[in-house]
């Protein structure tokens, strides 16, 4: 059975993201004093008294705003409310009860879900702010005093959540490993649109405004290709184009998403083509040792003939010559073109990144490679590779024991790497070599 869902909602700047981070025990949601920092739904796992549930952070609700982003934030909050088992309505004791709090409370009452009023910013222990009693007027039961910064009252809040959660039902555990997929790229290449197409819902806010996505958003998908967690990330711009603190946090979150992923989908805009920033984004994934897939989006908008794809692919292979092992797929997040191929390729790349090869088989391949192309010599001394073994996965890492590390030239290493890739069909994953000198005696 899926874990129950608890949604945190409220108007902007009442401390929802601070409370979310405190309850899940990690700094997942971006926190800043400016309103409207959180936009999409952010998920995190929370455990209290041996019960585990999913906590959802939402953007601040502005009931009557016509702003494009604010109206979509309101829609995202509504989706969280509709899917929640319990709702935490967060309010600010310092400002007291305001009209927006009443409007949000009215919206929640219509949902029919249990609602717990959390009065935040009660930072002084033992002191009750006179504004606190105003929140009884919402008609949603006894409010709970909380300081999300210091953690005061969070235990009482979680006790109230547990009282209202549905009773656990023993269900079958999901089998199979989840593949974490970070969708990365420049702003406005269609990362959020891809995730919305895959899920069939407006999971992420989409607009033509660059920098719409700020947090890294997890979306779990299960289909015939396996279990996937797609992580939508903020667009990565050049440092001199990043102006405000919120965007700096977003870039840090995107880099953290790369670190916790198994496979990175590097998205490129087909119309704009390859740029220097694309190579920098790809370099982040490669340096982190992640499996990679290059995805060319908006292919439906291209004027094409029978050679367009071939020529485009050749150009990209040249641009991404530093990661020639990475598969390239042409898709349309708008129409869903080749989305199935993307899932298949992600599965193949994930398996390659986690592949473990026995030492015996590896040395058979090495012996065959040495017979085909003799190791290099220098001043009459020839390179000898005594044996090799795999020491880790993600990425596959191999140790070579040789008579001279200096003789093991880069070109011969590249030859051995290509032989390993060909024999074991290692697609989309970097391979790392460690060279150790071993005394010939």
Provide the phi-psi class of 417: left if phi over 0, else alpha when psi is between -120 and 50, else beta. Answer: alpha
pLDDT tens digits for range 314-353: 999 999 999 999 999 999 999 989 999 999 999 999 999 9
pLDDT attached to residue 57: 82
Measuring CA to CA, which residue among 165, 167, 93 is closest to residue 133?
A: 93
Q: Burial level of 201, CB count in 10 A (0-12/13-18/19+)? A: exposed
175: confidence class by pLDDT, cuts 50, 70, 90: very low
pLDDT of 237 strictly over 70? no
CB 218 within 8 A of CB 229: yes
pLDDT attached to residue 37: 41
Query: Residue 178 and residue 171: Cα distance in Å, rounded?
Result: 18
Supply 315's token pair.
């150009």
pLDDT attached to residue 64: 56
Tell me which of 56 and 183 has the higher pLDDT: 183
211: confidence class by pLDDT, cuts 50, 70, 90: very low
Give Rg (Cα) of the chain: 26
What's the whole-number mean pLDDT along residues 235-241? 54
pLDDT attached to residue 392: 93
pLDDT attached to residue 203: 46
Tokens 């349309």 label which residue?
A: 332
Is cis: bond before 299, omega within 30 of 0?
no
| Strand 51-57 with 42-48, pairing | antiparallel
Is cis: bond before 395, omega within 30 of 0?
yes
Query: Residue 218 and residue 203: Cα distance in Å, rounded?
Result: 10
CB 116 within 8 A of CB 88: yes
Tell me which of 436 and 174 has the higher pLDDT: 436
What's the whole-number mean pLDDT along residues 397-420? 94
216: confidence class by pLDDT, cuts 50, 70, 90: low
Tell me which of 34 and 387 has the higher pLDDT: 387
Query: Residue 90 and residue 80: Cα distance in Å, rounded?
Result: 15
For the chain, first and last CA: distance in Å? Answer: 61
371: confidence class by pLDDT, cuts 50, 70, 90: very high
**What dihedral angle (degrees, nearest 10) is formed by the CA atoms of 137, 143, 149, 150?**
140
pLDDT attached to residue 432: 95
Supply 265's token pair.
């989908």
Share of the chain above pLDDT 90, in %: 43
Supply 370's token pair.
């040495």
pLDDT tens digits for range 49-94: 888 888 888 777 765 555 554 455 556 667 767 778 899 999 999 9
pLDDT tens digits for range 19-55: 988 888 765 444 444 444 444 456 777 888 888 888 8
Query: Residue 118 and residue 271: Cα distance in Å, rounded?
Result: 48
CB atoms within 10 A of CB 102: 14
């Amino acid at each position: 059975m899926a874990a129950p869902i608890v949604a945190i909602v409220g108007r902007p700047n009442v401390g929802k993201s601070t409370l979310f981070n405190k309850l899940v025990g990690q700094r997942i949601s971006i926190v800043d004093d400016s309103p409207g920092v959180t936009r999409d739904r952010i998920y995190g796992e929370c455990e209290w008294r041996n019960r585990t549930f999913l906590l959802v952070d939402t953007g601040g609700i502005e009931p009557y705003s016509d702003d494009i982003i604010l109206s979509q934030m309101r829609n995202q909050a509504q989706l969280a409310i509709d899917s929640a088992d319990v709702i935490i309505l967060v309010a600010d004791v310092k400002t007291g009860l305001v009209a927006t709090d009443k409007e949000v409370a009215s919206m929640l009452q219509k949902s029919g879900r249990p609602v717990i009023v959390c009065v935040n910013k009660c930072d002084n222990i033992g002191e009750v702010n006179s504004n606190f009693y105003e929140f009884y007027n919402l008609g949603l039961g006894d409010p709970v005093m909380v300081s999300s910064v210091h953690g005061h009252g969070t235990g009482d809040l979680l006790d109230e959540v547990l009282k209202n959660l549905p009773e656990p039902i023993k269900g079958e555990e999901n089998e199979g490993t989840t593949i974490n997929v970070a969708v990365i790229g420049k702003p406005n290449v269609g990362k959020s649109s891809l995730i919305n197409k895959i899920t069939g819902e407006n999971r992420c806010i989409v607009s033509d405004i660059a920098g719409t996505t700020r947090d890294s958003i997890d979306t779990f998908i299960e289909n015939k290709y396996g279990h996937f967690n797609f992580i939508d990330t903020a667009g990565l711009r050049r440092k001199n184009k990043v102006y405000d603190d919120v965007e700096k946090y977003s870039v840090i979150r995107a880099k953290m998403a790369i670190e916790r992923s198994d496979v990175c989908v590097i998205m490129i805009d087909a119309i704009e083509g390859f740029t220097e920033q694309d190579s920098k984004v790809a370099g982040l994934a490669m340096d982190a040792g992640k499996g990679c897939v290059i995805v060319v989006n908006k292919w439906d908008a291209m004027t094409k003939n029978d050679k367009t794809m071939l020529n485009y692919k050749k150009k990209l292979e040249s641009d991404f010559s530093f990661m020639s092992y990475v598969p390239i797929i042409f898709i349309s997040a708008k129409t869903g073109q080749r989305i199935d191929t993307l899932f298949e390729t992600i599965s193949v790349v994930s398996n390659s990144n986690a592949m473990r090869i026995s030492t015996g088989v590896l040395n058979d391949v090495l012996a065959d490679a040495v017979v085909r192309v003799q190791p290099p010599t220098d001043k009459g001394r020839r390179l000898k590779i005594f044996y090799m073994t795999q020491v880790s996965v993600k990425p596959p890492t191999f140790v070579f024991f040789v008579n001279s590390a200096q003789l093991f030239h880069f070109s011969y290493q590249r030859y051995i790497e290509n032989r390993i890739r060909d024999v074991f069909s290692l697609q989309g994953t970097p391979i790392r070599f460690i060279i150790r000198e071993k005394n010939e005696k």
